[in-house]
Copies of this chain bind each other. A is one copy, B any other.
Amino acid sequence: MRAKDRPRSGCPIASTLDILGDRWSLVIIRDMVTGKTRFGDFLKSLERIPTNILTERLQRLESFGLIEKQRYQQNPVRFAYRLTKKGADLLPALQAVCIWANRHLPETRRPPKTFLALKPDDITRANRATIKY
C-alpha cells in the first residue's frame, strides 16, 4: 500500500476520500451502476476519461474491493468489470450527491426518479443493464 493509500485518520469521511477522493472514481462507479462493464464503454462516457487514468482507477478500485473483473474474451484478453456489494453500497451516497447537485448546480441534468429510488441490491442483480440514469 502506497503512503497516499494509507488512511489518514479513523474518520469515515477522510477514509472514504483516501479511496475515492478524486475526479474520476465515482464517475466510473456511476457507469457501472448503469450497466457499463467494458473498458471501451467507460472511455465513451461524456467526461472523456483518459485511458491511462481509467486503467489506474480500475486497478485501484479492484484493489480496494469495490469492483471485480472477469475475463470475457481470450486473444486478446478482455475483462468485464462489475461492482461488488461494497461498491454497490455506494449508491445512497451517489443519490445524495445527485440531489445536492440538482438543487445547487443549475446546469446539472436530473436523473430519472427510478434512479433515485434504486436500492444497492438492485444493482447486484441481473437487471443492471436496464437501469436508467
Footprint of B on A, CB under 8 Å? 7-19, 21-24, 26-27, 30, 45-48, 86, 89-90, 92-105, 107-111
Contacts and interface: CB of A to CB of B under 8 A. Distances in A.
Contact of A11 (B8, B16, B23, B109): B109
A13 B26 CA distance: 7
A101 B22 contact: no
B15 A26 contact: no
A76 B95 CA distance: 43
Given A10-B107, A11-B30, A96 B96 contact: yes
Contacts of A110: 12
A99 B92 contact: yes
A4 to B, nearest CB: 8
A8 to B, nearest CB: 4
